[in-house]
Amino acid sequence: MKSVLVTALGVLVTLAATGCTASRQDVYGPQLAGPAAGCPETALSPTARPASPALPEAPPASTEESSAVGEARTAAPEALAAEDAERPLTLEQCVDVALRNNPDIAQQQWDTETALAEKDIAEGALWPTVHGQGGFMHYREDRLIKPRRPGARDVLGFSDNLLFGEVVLGMPLYTGGRLRNQVKAAELVTRSADQRLAHSRLELVFNVSSVFYAMLGQQEAINSLAFSQKALREHHKRTRELLEARKAARVDLLRTEVRLADIEQQLLRERNVLDVQRFVLASLLGLEKRSVAIQGQLTIDDVPDSLDAALPKALAHRQDHQSLMSTVEAQRKRLEAAKAGRLPEVSLQASYGSRWDSDDVDEDNEVGRVGVLIDVPVFEGGRIGARIRRERTRLSAQEEALRKRRLQIQVEVETATSNIESTRARVGVTQKAVEQAKESLRIEREKYELAKGAIVDVLDAQSALLGSQMNYYRALADYNTALAQFRLAVGEAR
């Protein structure tokens, strides 16, 4: 009997080691790597997970590499403070720092690691389990210690104090597809987490770009105010000279001083706005307790050629949309797993060990068993039906969330397209207004110098030029932001 049990356990362990596990046996249905029926886009391989183009990949799954990633993230703020604090950053550098150090991205990466661990847990349920068990039991009545072997004439032994130790092996043979669907759902959840991470990176790129362009526009607006302040001071000096020569009235000097005071308060306000934007950018970059200086230029890039085909492209490339599709498919697998709760389960169990009388531990009494168990659910108080209803309602909710996301994507694409067209037109109009305002100011100054114009006309022309310049640079910043918004809406990496 001992040799038979040892041989049986050896065969089972060998089957597990050679890969003949539940995940590859016909009793579990189709191969896990095969495509889902009616949904070819959800076909997965255990190692194939989409990554965002031109962006850093998700963190690796191994424990050692995950620890290294955690240490690198912990040390990132100090390294960045020493490396990036003393120099202005370009947009590309800001994006790179944000992707390496933003806490939201780090959180998403750890969520992806969690999903990978959940997938490994689900796959582990397909493998045989081996446990060692042992202990001491006291019984009110005597129990058999030394069983009789076939063909032997051993004397039966009994005791009420029993020591035991054994190795127990179990392996699922048939679960009605429950384990297979749980693994498939875990794989789809992992894919969904990867896709959410990729979209979060694109959102971060847009947020950094939006603040960066707003800061460039704000800097140009401050430069316009400073230039206007310098011009007014020169005009104030000239007016004082004319007043001393009795060629200008004192009210002209007072009006110029009032306009200078207004320019000064505008400068203070706009510089405060720029300081706040610097703190916001530092937060997006994951840098604590300091602001960030930037360098760059606002440009007029060409309008994307894909405006007309933006919506189909967005539905095909948006990672958040793909993530919700994976989530819906994963919920379908959970529903199938819940339905499998109505079916019987078949498992193989085997054990080998020994029993001892607590008063005579020197005498070894080997015992063992091997067999197939069938578990048929007969009555569970309605819990199986309730689980099925719960998973079905969750599926309906996920499908509505997917429909909502498609409508939201349509709105975002149309909004981004409209913003590009609108801001491009604003750039052209304000650019022409700046040229006209410059010429108008030149004429009014000449008229005032020749005593043929009023100081009010000069100040109005100066104010009009300032307003046109600020409108131009803000329109240019809005145009660059609209391009970044369009790239986010269609799921394009910069």
Per-residue pLDDT of 390-408, as tens digits, reads: 999 999 999 999 999 999 9
Q: Please indicate, yes or no, if residue 355 is contained in any of the structural domains.
A: no
- 25 or 146: which leads in pLDDT: 146
Kindly report the pTM of this predicted structure: 0.75
Question: Which residues constitute the domain of residue 36?
Answer: 2-67+88-126+177-342+386-490
pLDDT at 105 over 90: yes
Per DSSP (E only), the strands in 187-257 are none
DSSP secondary structure, 141-201, as one string? EEEEEEPPPTT--PPPEEEEEEEEEEEEEEEEEE-TTHHHHHHHHHHHHHHHHHHHHHHHH
Q: Please indicate, yes or no, if residue 171 is contained in any of the structural domains.
A: no
For the segment 454-480, what is each residue's pLDDT rounded down to a tens digit? 878 888 888 899 999 999 999 999 999
- How far apart CA 423 and CA 482 sit, in angstroms, is 8
Q: Which amino acid, one-letter code, is at 45?
A: S
The lowest-confidence range among 38-47, 127-136, 242-251, 462-471 is: 38-47
Q: Please indicate, yes or no, if residue 348 is contained in any of the structural domains.
A: no
The reported pLDDT for the residue numbered 393 is 97
The reported pLDDT for the residue numbered 302 is 74
The reported pLDDT for the residue numbered 240 is 85
The reported pLDDT for the residue numbered 174 is 95
Phi, psi of 344 (to 5 degrees): -70, 160
The reported pLDDT for the residue numbered 384 is 94
Instruction: Give me the mean pLDDT over the 136-160 stretch.
Output: 69
Instruction: Give me the mean pLDDT over the 353-371 stretch.
Output: 80
Nearest to 239 by CA among 224, 255, 262: 255
The lowest-confidence range among 68-72, 336-340, 438-442 is: 68-72
Cβ–Cβ < 8 Å for 458, 18: no
For the segment 322-351, what is each residue's pLDDT rounded down to a tens digit? 999 999 999 999 999 999 999 999 999 999
Both tokens assigned to 125 = 């349920």
The reported pLDDT for the residue numbered 66 is 43
Q: Please indicate, yes or no, if residue 302 is contained in any of the structural domains.
A: yes
pLDDT at 220 over 60: yes
The lowest-confidence range among 184-188, 302-306, 310-314, 382-386 is: 302-306
- 383 or 163: which leads in pLDDT: 383
Bridge partners of 365, per DSSP, are 355
For the segment 192-210, what is each residue's pLDDT rounded down to a tens digit? 999 999 999 999 999 999 9
Bridge partners of 167, per DSSP, are 132, 352
- How far apart CA 41 and CA 48 sit, in angstroms, is 13
Strand 360-375 with 345-357, pairing: antiparallel
Cβ–Cβ < 8 Å for 488, 304: no
SS3 15: helix
For the segment 151-170, what is each residue's pLDDT rounded down to a tens digit? 555 556 777 788 889 999 99
The reported pLDDT for the residue numbered 11 is 45
- 431-439 long-range contacts, CB within 8 A, separation 24+: 431/472, 433/468, 433/471, 433/472, 434/465, 434/468, 434/469, 434/472, 436/468, 437/461, 437/464, 437/465, 437/467, 437/468, 437/469, 438/465
Cβ–Cβ < 8 Å for 363, 146: yes
Q: Please indicate, yes or no, if residue 403 is contained in any of the structural domains.
A: yes
Place of tokens 């191969």: 31
Cβ–Cβ < 8 Å for 287, 81: yes
Instruction: Give me the mean pLDDT over the 313-322 stretch.
Output: 91
pLDDT at 306 over 70: no
Domain count within the chain: 1
Q: Please indicate, yes or no, if residue 357 is contained in any of the structural domains.
A: no
For the segment 82-92, what is each residue's pLDDT rounded down to a tens digit? 455 568 899 99
User: Of the ranges 16-20, 47-51, 439-443, which is most confident?
Assistant: 439-443
Q: Please indicate, yes or no, if residue 81 is contained in any of the structural domains.
A: no
- How far apart CA 350 and CA 367 sit, in angstroms, is 11
- 35 or 336: which leads in pLDDT: 336
Angle at 318 between CA 317 and CA 320, to 5 degrees: 145
Cβ–Cβ < 8 Å for 122, 182: yes
Band (149; pLDDT cuts 50, 70, 90)? low
Can you give the CATH number for the domain in which 314 is found?
1.20.1600.10
pLDDT at 453 over 70: yes
Q: What percent of the chain has pLDDT over 90?
A: 54
The reported pLDDT for the residue numbered 155 is 56
Q: What percent of the chain has pLDDT over 70?
A: 78
pLDDT at 51 over 90: no
Instruction: Give the containing element (helix H, strand E) for 347.
Output: strand 345-357
- How far apart CA 204 and CA 102 sit, in angstroms, is 8
For the segment 229-281, what is each residue's pLDDT rounded down to a tens digit? 988 888 888 888 878 877 777 888 888 889 899 999 999 999 999 999 999 99
pLDDT at 99 over 60: yes
Q: Please indicate, yes or no, if residue 370 is contained in any of the structural domains.
A: no
- How far apart CA 139 and CA 117 sit, in angstroms, is 43
Cβ–Cβ < 8 Å for 235, 358: no
The reported pLDDT for the residue numbered 39 is 36
